[in-house]
């Protein structure tokens, strides 16, 4: 995690991408993200001013059908808050894998491309 924390201090963009499992982010992603609780603890328990650098956040969620994305999205936005990545610059939700594989979902792929272009523009603007 020390290496990951170093990235968190330095990077400009964060993209959280996950399938929706039982209305949540995937278990493996939640295991990793639970470690950013250290930023909450340093601010509210230890009274330190350790906000990581401001970042551009993008959330990509993939699910079988609409209707279960709310909790996963809320969890991701909580993590974005700890990572100083709010407001999130783009949310890309692909919620129809029951009928269309994500790779064939042209609307979602266009939204993903737009999000990537937005991150590039924001990074160019900040240099
Ligand atoms: C254990 C498990 C739980 C799941 N729970 C949800 C869910 O709550 N909502 C949903 O939209 N899709 C759910 N899915 C479907 C996955 O999101 C979907 O499989 C994933 O986005 C990848 O799509 P694919 O299986 O077509 O490759 C679940 C899948 C698994 C394996």
pTM of this structure: 0.92
Q: Check if the beta carbon of residue 107 is closer than 8 Å to that of residue 62.
A: no
Contacts of 104 (CB under 8 A, 6+ apart): none
**Considering Cα of 55, then 13, then 38, then 72, what sign does the dihedral take?**
positive
Ligand 1 atom having least distance to the Cα of 65 = 11
Query: What's the total number of domains in the chain?
Result: 1
Q: What is the DSSP string of 78-113?
A: HHHHHTT--S-SEEEEEE-TTTS-GGG-HHHHHHHH
**CA 37 to ligand 1 center in whole angstroms:** 26
Residue 100 domain boundaries:
2-126
CATH number at residue 19: 3.40.50.360
Give the pLDDT of the chain (127 residues) as one tens digit per residue: 999 899 888 899 999 999 999 999 999 999 999 999 888 888 888 888 777 889 999 999 999 999 999 999 999 999 999 899 999 999 999 999 999 999 999 998 999 999 999 999 998 877 6
């Amino acid at each position: 995690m020390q290496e990951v924390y170093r990235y968190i201090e330095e990077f400009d963009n964060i993209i959280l991408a996950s399938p929706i499992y039982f209305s949540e982010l995937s278990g493996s992603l939640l295991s990793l993200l639970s470690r950013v609780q250290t930023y909450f603890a340093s601010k509210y328990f230890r009274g330190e001013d350790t906000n990581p650098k401001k970042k551009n956040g993008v959330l990509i969620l993939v699910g079988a059908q609409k209707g279960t994305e709310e909790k996963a999205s809320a969890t991701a936005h909580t993590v974005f808050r700890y990572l100083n990545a709010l407001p999130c610059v783009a949310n890309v939700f692909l919620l129809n894998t029951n009928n269309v594989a994500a790779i064939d979902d042209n609307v979602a792929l266009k939204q993903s491309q737009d999000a990537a272009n937005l991150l590039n523009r924001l990074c160019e603007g900040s240099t």
